Structure 1
Amino acid sequence: MPKSPSRTAVSVGGTADDVEAAFYEALQRGDIEALMACWADDDEMFCVHPGGPRLVGPGAIRAAFEQMFGNGAIHATPARVRKVESLASAVHNVLERIEVLTSEGPRHAYVLATNVYHKTAQGWRMVAHHASPGAAHAPDEANDPPQTLH
């Protein structure tokens, strides 16, 4: 079976940014195989969805995303990324814009997520995704601090 573009993005030599892009592409397509290809092969990796329990290990994470994909793809678009990176790890804090289709048309909500990546023998992989409820409307950009860390 040929590899999808998102799997190419997470091949050895890719960056944490490539894995993050592939993760959100997989969410938007509802593609569990591409989504799980973004994760490290590590029994201690974890995921927390807004208001949900801590899911530990690939089996629990896969089951949760499969259940979510049962309702369709997840239209989450990352924005306002803040990064702390080193040679072998990267932490990205993102504002996810979630589009939900309702009988009145599309509605948007916002989720704050932290994605943690480690450089593994297979290349960069996600080891943690922790999402928290955000605002029902777009946060005020004027109150967003600058990206430069001192």
Structure 2
Amino acid sequence: MSAPHTDVEQVEAANTAFYEALERGDFEEVASLWLTPGDLGIDETYHDPADSGVVSCVHPGWPVLTGRGEVLRSYALIMANTDYIQFFLTDTHVSVTGDTALVTCTENILSGGPAPRAGEELGPLVGQLVVATNVFRRTAEGWKLWAHHASPVLAEEEDDEDETDGGTPA
């Protein structure tokens, strides 16, 4: 496969790298894909990295996490308590304007965990449908995550009422 040439292709590659690193449980790779103050030209000696070019993350059901340290701790916690995770991305759309890119997608997640105790097998896998928005910023090293926001898609309930006769059950 050839190297991506357009901004859209580069952002798609960065987005894919993020999810693949999560699947492998590669914390160092996940960390390298998030913006640092240095990526923004900010000298960390004089500025608090948590306040500079603040990255943010919202996992489904979690509060907003702000600052690189808080965001990366969340991924370390998730990786430590998830034995298996796989993402099937659908409905992916990439938009690039200048040095900022927006990726929206549906994360079809298959996971299992926490890790079983010694001698136990991995329990049943759980599926989850999540919509996500990933915001990337162009850096000298390529596109890096600035924000990730994921929200569960609620399952539609079947309507047991027959609407043709005024709502009385059939």
Q: Give the alignment's TM-score, normalised by structure 2.
A: 0.66
User: Match of 1:48?
Assistant: 58
Aligned residues of 1:109 and 1:136 also touching (Cα < 8 A): no
SS at match of 1:94: strand
Pick aligned residue for 2:81 from 71, 83, 87: 71
Pick aligned residue for 2:101 from 63, 84, 90: 90
Distance 2:137 2:20 in 1: 20
SS at match of 2:61: coil
Equivalent residue runs for 1:1-150 within 5 Å:
15-42=10-37, 43=52, 44-72=54-82, 73-101=84-112, 105-136=124-155
SS at match of 2:60: coil
Distance 2:71 2:56 in 1: 7
Deviation at 1:57, TM superposition (A): 1.3
Deviation at 1:122, TM superposition (A): 2.4
Q: Per chain length, whose mean CA-contact separation is higher, i.e. which structure has more relative contact order (CA < 8 Å, sep 6+)? A: 1
Distance 1:24 1:133 in 2: 17
Distance 2:143 2:155 in 1: 32
Q: Give the alignment's TM-score, normalised by structure 1.
A: 0.74
Aligned residues of 2:134 and 2:148 also touching (Cα < 8 A): yes
Q: Which has the higher strand share?
A: 1
- Gapped regions of structure 2 (runs ≥ 5): 38-51, 114-121, 157-170
Across the aligned residues of Structure 1 and Structure 2, the Cα RMSD in angstroms comes to 2.3
Identity %: 33
Write out per-residue CA displacement over residues 38-72 of structure 1, whole angstroms, 9 at most, x where no aligned residue.
11114401100011011111110111011111123
Equivalenced residues, count: 125
User: Match of 1:4?
Assistant: none
Deviation at 1:121, TM superposition (A): 2.5
Aligned residues of 2:55 and 2:67 also touching (Cα < 8 A): yes
Aligned residues of 1:26 and 1:34 also touching (Cα < 8 A): yes
Moved over 4 A (4+): none
